[in-house]
């Protein structure tokens, strides 16, 4: 089994299941900072992990790489526990946080939850931010999310990549589901990461890794397959959204699962734009069947359960 890289001692990673993003705690000097806060259903666990690691110290800074629900769902709980907490978000959707709009923030369309939170500062691409004792560069990383950023610390060559690069791929390219061209942005973000030449990467999901050149090659191959077969990406994305719901509820009756998907606007958008010839409910049932065939779900009678 390959061994995980030995990261700098001031970095602590709370590697979460795929319902929640990883949380990265950066310690040093007088400042304690957390990168991303996971999904709302894990918020009590997120708070407990942070409090145990800080051993009575306060959490000073919270940074969100982007505002998908699995990366900022714990914001409200952390802000409640640490009233002086300074929260930094990318600028692209700041107005929707200021005037809380769960539809524009994609929580309502995807059928996901995120309690309202505030922000205090913006993560401006091209700037630097002191987190712990280190200065981290803020880089725009559109593709998976048009407003996402990644963070790079050049002295240790550590990259916090969010969902722009995983060890074996990258996150769903959500703008493509809405009919917007974004695969080119994914490629440019991969090129940016290659130019930074990180020694190790802390992704939004999965273990930290080195051997970054191989991961970049895998990501480029995956991107090429999506560019040449767009329907493959759309189908994959729809199954990711279904799997996310299963991760949250763990078990659900098939009819209720189909009804939830049919009532979730993102699925209507996907089918209307990309599969107009398919019956909506039947198409959802086929996708659920694909999850069962792949081992990502199981079915026992009327119940569909999370698996894998």
- pLDDT for 180 equals 87
Domains of the chain from N-terminus onward: 11-228 (3.60.15.10), 233-306 (no CATH)
pTM across the whole model: 0.95
Burial (Cβ within 10 Å: 0-12, 13-18, ≥19) of residue 128: middle
Predicted local confidence at residue 186, as pLDDT: 98
Residue 130's pLDDT is 94
Q: What is the pLDDT of residue 4?
A: 61
* Burial grade of 17 (CB within 10 A; 0-12, 13-18, 19 or more): exposed
pLDDT in the model for residue 87: 98
pLDDT in the model for residue 1: 46
pLDDT by residue, tens only, the chain of 308 residues: 455 677 778 899 999 989 999 999 999 888 899 999 999 999 999 999 999 999 999 999 999 999 999 999 999 999 999 999 999 999 999 999 999 999 999 999 999 999 999 999 999 999 999 998 899 999 999 999 999 999 999 999 999 999 999 999 999 999 998 888 999 999 999 999 999 999 999 999 999 999 999 999 999 999 999 999 999 999 999 999 999 999 999 999 999 999 999 999 999 988 888 888 888 999 999 999 999 999 999 999 999 999 98
């Amino acid at each position: 089994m390959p061994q995980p890289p030995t990261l700098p001692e001031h970095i602590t990673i709370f590697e979460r299941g795929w319902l929640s993003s990883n949380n990265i705690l950066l310690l040093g000097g007088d400042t304690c900072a957390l990168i991303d806060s996971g999904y709302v259903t894990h918020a009590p666990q997120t708070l407990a992990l942070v409090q145990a690691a800080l051993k009575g110290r306060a959490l000073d800074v919270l940074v969100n790489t982007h505002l998908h629900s699995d990366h900022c769902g714990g914001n409200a709980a952390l802000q409640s526990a640490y009233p002086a907490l300074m929260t930094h978000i990318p600028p692209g959707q700041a107005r929707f946080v200021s005037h809380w709009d769960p539809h524009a923030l994609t929580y309502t369309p995807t059928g996901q939850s995120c309690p309202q939170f505030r922000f205090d500062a913006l993560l401006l691409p091209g700037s630097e931010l002191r987190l712990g004792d280190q200065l981290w560069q803020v880089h725009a990383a559109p593709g998976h999310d048009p407003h996402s950023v990644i963070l790079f610390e050049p002295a240790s060559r550590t990259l916090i990549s969010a969902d722009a690069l995983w060890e074996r791929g990258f996150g769903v390219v959500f703008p493509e589901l809405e009919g917007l061209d974004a695969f080119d942005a994914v490629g440019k973000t991969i090129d940016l990461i290659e130019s930074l030449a990180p020694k190790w990467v802390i992704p939004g999901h999965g273990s930290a890794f080195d051997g970054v050149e191989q991961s970049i090659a895998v990501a480029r191959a995956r991107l090429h397959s999506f560019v040449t077969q767009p329907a493959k990406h759309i189908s994959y994305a729809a199954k990711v959204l279904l799997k996310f719901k299963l991760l949250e509820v763990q078990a659900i009756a098939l009819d209720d699962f189909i009804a939830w998907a049919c009532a979730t606007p993102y699925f209507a958008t996907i089918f209307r734009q990309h599969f107009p010839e398919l019956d909506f409910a039947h198409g959802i049932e086929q996708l659920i069947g694909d999850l069962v065939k792949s081992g990502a779900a199981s079915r026992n009678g009327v119940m569909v359960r999370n698996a894998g």
